[in-house]
Structure 1
Amino acid sequence: MKAVKKINNNVAVCLDNNENELIAFGKGIGFPTMPYKIVDLSTISMTFYKMDESFYNLLKEIPEEIFEISAIIVKRAQMTLDCNLNPNILPGLADHINFAIKRMKKYKEMKMLFSYDIEKLYPEETSLGRYAVKLVQKKLFVKLPESEITNIAMHFVNAEEENINENTVLDVEQLIEEITGIIEMKFKIKIDRKGFNYNRFVIHLRYYLKRIEENKQFVDDNGELFKAMQEKNPKVYECAELISIIIDEKLNSKITEDEVLYLMIHIGRILKNNTIN
């Protein structure tokens, strides 16, 4: 195996003997000058194939310890869930845990709810969410709220590739392009379609539409955070509200306040990091 690009000190982009690209974990594998051959494969603890390149920069953004904890959680999911997981579950989960920790520190009194309905529908995924919350507390000394058990469980539900309704892919792609056009028109920008912030926004949209189809929208009572973001970024809120109206009209749904909040977060990230004007 050859290491070709450093992600951080313990993670690197590698090529296996068949020239297939993968993300490899191993203590210190990011230290040597790239590229180099990894002779002792016992130093590799975990590997992940087919991760979207647009997420590589995101992996550099996330604190190394959160990234490594997320990898442990994903590895456990691979061993316990009887299905294929989307390879982008790793950066998506790490990004979520990182944001959850920041959000909890800033809004300590915010009330959020654990979903017993999700626990009944997805007991294995909920068990993974509970394991993740305990692992974060053990490794980082941060006690996440119980609602994060549900949120993390839903990350794994959404990452189970067999659950995605392939019959709706074309319509979803058209809707995503329409939504992207709304953001570009509203803020007079040209979005970088290859950027990792845009790609995680697209992933969020795909699985939000899936949650609508299955009647499983997020309802976490994030009212305090919603109002804070609404006041701080009124134009982002207006854009998210317009997108929600379009989605509701097309799918005969009613978007929740929490889902609007997540749209606002993703739109804000796109605007902050977009490199095409």
Structure 2
Amino acid sequence: MRIFRILNNNAVVVVDGPQEKIVMGSGIAFQKKRNDIIPKNKIEKIFVLHEQSSEKFQQLLATLPEEHIEIAENIISYAEGHLNAPLSDHIHIALTDHLSFALERLEQGIPIQNKLLNEIKLLYKKEYEVGIWAKAEIMEKLGIEIPDDEAAHIALHIHTAKMDAPSMSESLKQATVLRDFVEQVESILSIEVEESSINYQRLITHLRFALNRIEQGDQFDPIDEDMLDLIKVKYVRAYECSEQIAGYLEKEYGIEFPSSEVAYIALHIQRLLK
């Protein structure tokens, strides 16, 4: 392979037949110029992207600090190993761009917040572990301490880059619905939900599966009428809260829970009350 364009010390563009490819490797362009041959032992990654994506990636590689690019690539490599799954090539653009901007903000003293931190930690546990690994890696390599909120942002980027994962907007919507649900519970019942409690985690897990079933159009298991009546009578506050939130979610998000699910959710809310 011969160099067509040098992007930075660790990335070049080559022309291979009709395709442009981005080739990356530590010091791959050091003391090189156009038309020089790239040693095979220097090649670590090769990308073939769509034309528009390729231009965006080349622009990032040419303009962002090399240490930010290197950190992003380390995180992606670790994520693929930790999740034992390949990630979409677009993650090299999305995560690199996001991470560099986040690091610049932190260096300028601008705080990073993530209102969906607790939901992301529960929904995407393995991906959040990647975010925590990235936190330690960034501290070691750059001396910048990122907050757990940013680790959650990284986790969400990793999750949506999985080949079978929903889009970023869909993942954010689910996490937002769960956050909204808990806030409604706290408001209606005048309680503060302990987000580290096992009952909170059980509720979030149950809601997550329920939302997935609604999204996929799956049927819910029916509930025995006697059981439904018992829940309504025995756990009045919890059931009324569940019913009120179900109406809210239908109005705000178009999410419709069947009566059986309203009852099962009431049982989880009752645990929070206890």
TM range (shorter): 0.5 to 0.7
Q: Is 1:208 matched with 2:210? A: no
Tell me, in whole angstroms, the C-alpha distance in 1 between the residues paired with 2:86 and 2:92: 13
Deviations 1:206-246 (A, max 9, x none): 6225532x344798xxxxxxxxxxxxxxxxxxxxxxxxxxx
In structure 1, the partner of 2:103 is 101
The offset of 1:84, in angstroms, is 3.7
Of 78-87 and 154-163, the range deviating more from structure 2: 78-87
Deviations 1:97-144 (A, max 9, x none): 111122223345666567233222222211111111111111111111
Q: Is 1:91 matched with 2:88? A: no
Residue pairs, 1:1-277, within 5 angstroms = 1-15=1-15, 20-30=19-29, 31-38=31-38, 40-50=39-49, 52-55=53-56, 56-108=58-110, 112=114, 115-164=117-166, 207-212=168-173, 214-216=174-176, 253=253
Equivalenced residue count is 179
In structure 2, the partner of 1:194 is none
| 3-state secondary structure, aligned to 1:32 | coil
Residue identity in the other structure for 1:13: V
Name the TM-score, length of structure 2 as normaliser: 0.56
Tell me, in whole angstroms, the C-alpha distance in 2 between the residues paired with 1:33 and 1:253: 55
Which structure is higher in RCO with an 8 Å CA cutoff and minimum separation 6?
1
Q: Aligned in 2, Cα 1:95/1:159: closer, same or farther, shift over 3 Å?
A: same
Residue identity in the other structure for 2:27: G
| 3-state secondary structure, aligned to 2:3 | strand
Name the TM-score, length of structure 1 as normaliser: 0.56
Q: Aligned in 2, Cα 1:138/1:215: closer, same or farther, shift over 3 Å?
A: closer
Tell me, in whole angstroms, the C-alpha distance in 1 between the residues paired with 2:111 and 2:32: 45
The answer as to whether partners of 1:93 and 1:152 remain within 8 angstroms in 2 is yes
Unaligned runs of 5+ in 1: 165-205, 220-250, 255-277
The offset of 1:64, in angstroms, is 0.8
| 3-state secondary structure, aligned to 1:14 | strand
In structure 1, the partner of 2:221 is none
Question: Which structure would you say has the larger Rg?
Answer: 2
Residue identity in the other structure for 2:43: I
Tell me, in whole angstroms, the C-alpha distance in 1 between the residues paired with 2:151 and 2:81: 19
Cα RMSD for the two superposed structures: 3.0
Residue identity in the other structure for 1:140: L
